[in-house]
Structure 1
Amino acid sequence: MYAGKFVFSQLMDLAPWHTFRRLVSKYKGDFNARTFRCRDQFLCMAFAQLTYRRSLRDIEGCLLAQPSKLYHMGIRGRISRSNLADANESRDWRIYAEFAQSLISTARRLYADEDLELDLAGTVYALDSTTIRLCLSLFPWADYRETKAAVKIHTLLDLRGAIPAFMLVSDGLLHDVNILDLFSPERAAFYVMDRAYVDFERLFTINQAGAFFVTRAKKPLKFKSVSSQPVDKSTGLICDQQIRLTVYYSRKAYPKLLRRVRLKDPETGKTLIFLTNNFEITAQTVCDLYRSRWQVELFFKWIKQHLRINQFFGRSENAVKCQIWIAVATYLLVVIARKQFGIPLSLHSMLQILSITPFENIPLNQLLMDPGLAEEDACAAKQLKLL
C-alpha cells in the first residue's frame, strides 16, 4: 500500500507550480495536448536529469518499469518515446527558461546571507560562457565554425551560493562581449570578467550605472599613468596606478580614469594586469576578486559532469534549449532543497543519493541528513563551496 510521498515528488513539490501553469498558459504550451502535457514533459525530463538517463528510450523504459508509481510522482500523461520527442520538439522552450528564472530568484533569496569570503558588502558576479560542441550534420542550426557546430551557455554567476543570476543559451557565433548589452548592471555590485569582455564603451556603461568591474587588460594597452600608490611587493604586487587611456577611440569610449593593478602570481610566475573602476578597495582585494572568477569555471565544469547537457535527446534548437533549461531548473530545485532542509551534504553527494532513491518513501530531509555521510563529505569539500 502507498504511504507517504516519493523522494522525487518531495523534490518537485518545491517548485512554484502556479508560476509554471501561468507560463504554460502564456505560451500556449498545452494547446492541442491531450495525453502528454508540459508538466508531464518537465517531470520526465527532470527525472532523466536526476537518474542519469541517456536517451528517450532509456527514460521510457525506466518509468514504465514502475507504472503504479507514476501517478504519485505527478505524471498523468501517457509516457512514450514519441510523446517525449514530440514535446521536446514543439513545446516552447521559453516556458522552461522563465520557470528556471523564477527558481533562480527563490534560490538567490535563500543564499543571500552566504559568506562571500571577501571583505565586501556588495554582490559579486562572475561572468563567463562555456561551449558545448555538437555535430554540424546533426545540428545545422548551431553555427560555430565552418565545419563545427556548438551552443554556448552564457552565465552571470552570483558568488554568494554559486547561483546563476542570468543565463542565456545561444549558438556558438554570439561573441561573449555582446552579453554585456543584455542585462542591466546592479548599482554597487562587482562584475568580474576575463579579457573577452574588454570593450571600453560597454565597461563605461557599467561605470555610469554605479557598478564596478574587475577584468584583465588586453595587450598591448596604451595609457598614461596619472598617479601611483605604494604596494606590498612581498605579496607579488608590482604596481597600483591610476591611468588614462591614450588611444583616441578607447579614450572616447572610456573618458574617465581607470585603475591598473599589476601582479606577478607567486604560484605560476605569470604577470597579470587587472583593470577596475573602483579606487577604494585595496590592490590585494582587486586580485582576490579576479581570483574568485574561478568559481564560474568550476560551476561550468560541475554542471557538465553532473547534468545531462553534453548528450541531447533531440536535434532541433527547441529540443536542445528545453533540455538545457530543464536541467538548470532541476539543479536549482536541488540547491533550494539543500538550503531549506539545512542539508550538510554537497550537491554532488545529494545527486548521487537522489539518483538511486526517486521511488523511495522516506522523507527527503531524513534521507539526506545522515551524519556519517556528512562527515565523509566534509573530507572531500575542497571544491566550489556550494557544490
Structure 2
Amino acid sequence: MGKSSYFSSKSVFGQLISLIDDHHIRSAVKKSDSDRYVKRFKTKDHLISMLFCSFAKCNSLREVSGAMLGLSGKTGGFQLSHIPKRSTLSDANKNRKVDFFEDMYNKLLHQYGPVLSDSRILDVLKKQVKIVDSSTVSLFKAILNCVGRKPRDGKSKGGIKVHSVINADEKVPSLVWFSPATTHDHSFLKKLKCDENTIYVFDKGYNDYVAFKHFTDRGTGFVTRIKDNAAYNVEEELPIDGCIHSGVLMDEIIELDVKGEGGKTSKLRLRKVRFYDREHKREFEFITNLFDLRADMIAALYKVRWQIELVFKQLKQNFPLKYFLGDNENAIRIQIYCVLMVNLLLSVIKNRLKRSWAFSNLVSFCKIHLFNYIQLMRFLENPEKDWIIDKGESEQMALF
C-alpha cells in the first residue's frame, strides 16, 4: 500500500487541540490566577488532559493517565509539558478553579460563533431567539441533592442539574449554570439578561409570573406553555380567520395577578394562544408577551425549543457523563465544561465540512484515530480516496 495522501505532521488530537488559541489559554489563566503555587502540572496541561478524557471517552483517572502515556513524542502540536499521574489529576480536579474552564468555553464560543450560527431565524424575526432548559445528570454519590424518593437501603445518589441557554441559530450552549437537582427550574430565570432584541423560549416548568413581569417591563420577549391551573381573566378575543389553516384555535389577551415584594399585587397583560398540533394530534396553550407576531408564529417559536433537547441528547450519548473522575462538585463541573468544549470543537469541524457526517460518527472516528497522523479535514471530505487509488494500482499491477 502506498503512502497515504492524507499524512499530517500532527496527530488528530493535535489538530483538534490546535483549534484552541494559546492566547486565549494564557488570558484565561491570568484572569483566574489558576497557576498560582503550581510547580509542574500547569493549567494548560490540565485542560489538555481533560479534553483528552472527553475525546477518548475515558471513564477513570487511571484510564486517562495511562492512555496519555501514548502521547510521548507526539506533543509538538499542542505543547503538553507534563503527563499527569492519577493522583496529580485527581488533586487538580479537586482544587483548580472552575472559573478558568468556564472562561475558556466562553472564549471558544465567541471565537467560533460565526461558524456555528445559522442566521435564518434572525433574518425573519430581527431578534435573537434563545432556548432555556435544564437536564439532570445522576451521580454515583450524594454529592449534590437529587430528586425522587430515597432508596430503602438509605444510600441515596446525588444529582446535578445543568441549566442551559442556547441560541436557536447555534445549537451549542451559550450560558451554563449548575445547581443541585432539587433546585426548581424557574430560579434560573434570574440569571438571564434582559434585552429588547431577545426572545426566550422555555417549557412550563419555568412558569414564574414575577419573572414574566420583569421581562415585559424591560421589553424582553418570551414564549412558554401555560399551566393547567393558571388563574386569569380574558380581556379580549382576537380574530384568527387567517390562521385557521395553520392550527390556531384561539388567540386571546388575558390579565393575571402578580404578587410582588411586600405582598403587593399588580396586573400583567399577556397573550394566550391555543394551538392544535396535527402531527401529534394534541392541543397546546401558549402564553407570551409578544403581541405583534402572528399566532401561528408563536407556536412555531415554541416548536424550536425541541433543539435544546437534541443538544442534551447529543451530549449524553457521545461523551463520558455517566462516569465522573472525581467525587466532588468542583471535579464534576470541570468535566462538564470540558465535554462542552469538545462538543463545540467537533461541531465546528462538522459545520466546516462540505461532506455530510453524522455527529456520532464524527465523534467515533476522532476517538479511533486520536493518535494517528491523518490530515483530518481532507480525510473527512473524501475518506475513500486512498482506498480507491490503492485498489486501482493493484488492478493495474495484476495486468502485468
State TM-score, norm by structure 1.
0.87
8 Å contact kept, 1:9–1:74: no
Is the 1:107–1:335 Cα contact (8 Å) retained in structure 2? no
CA distance in 1, matches of 2:296, 2:350: 33
Q: Which residue number corresponds to residue 338 of structure 1?
A: 350
- In the alignment, which residue of structure 2 is the partner of 1:32? 37
CA contact (8 A) 1:243 1:258 kept: yes
Aligned length: 368
**Which consecutive residues of structure 1, in runs of 5 or more, have no partner in the other structure?**
374-387
For the pair 1:10 / 2:29, whether they are aligned, the reply is no
Matched, 1:273 2:285: yes
Aligned residue identity for 2:145: D
CA distance in 2, matches of 1:316, 1:84: 13
Counterparts of 2:97 and 2:355, CA distance in 1: 34
Partner Cα distance (2:360, 2:124) in 1: 28
Q: Partner of 2:381: helix, strand, or coil?
A: coil
- 136, 144, 147: which one pairs with 2:146? 144
1:144 is aligned with what amino acid? C
Distance, in Å, in 2 between the alignment partners of 1:148 and 1:357 is 36
Distance in 1 (alpha carbons) for counterparts of 2:195 and 2:349: 27
CA distance in 2, matches of 1:271, 1:322: 41
Per-residue CA deviation, residues 176-227 of structure 1 (Å, 9 max, x unaligned), is 1111111212322211111111111111111222221000001222222222
Equivalent of 2:267, from 242, 255, 266? 255
Secondary structure of the equivalent of 2:280? coil
| Match of residue 100 from structure 1 | 105
Partner of 2:64: 59
| Separation (CA, whole Å) in 2 of partners of 1:310 and 1:13 | 28
Give CA-to-partner distance per residue, 1:77-108, whole Å, 9 cap, x none.
03321221121111111110111111122232
- The runs of 5 or more residues in structure 2 that have no matched partner are 1-6, 151-155, 386-400
AA partner of residue 100 (structure 1): Y
What one-letter code is carried by the residue in structure 1 that aligns with 2:313?
Answer: K
Q: Is the 8 A contact 2:145 2:159 kept in 1?
A: yes
2:88 is the alignment partner of 1:83: yes
Checking the alignment, whether the CA contact within 8 Å between 1:216 and 1:275 is kept in structure 2 is yes
Is the Cα contact below 8 Å between 1:343 and 1:365 reproduced in 2? no
- Counting only pairs closer than 5 Å after superposition, residues 1-387 of structure 1 correspond to structure 2 as 4-116=9-121, 119-135=124-140, 138-140=141-143, 142-145=144-147, 147-231=156-240, 232-245=243-256, 247=257, 249=259, 255-340=267-352, 344-370=356-382
Report the identity percentage: 27
Distance in 2 separating the partners of 1:341 and 1:253: 55
Give the equivalent residue in structure 1 for 2:390. Answer: none
Could you tell me how far apart the structure 2 residues matched to 1:59 and 1:78 are? 10
Q: In 1, distance between residues paired with 2:187 and 2:277?
A: 30
Mean CA deviation greater in 225-234 or 302-311:
225-234
Which is greater in Rg? 2
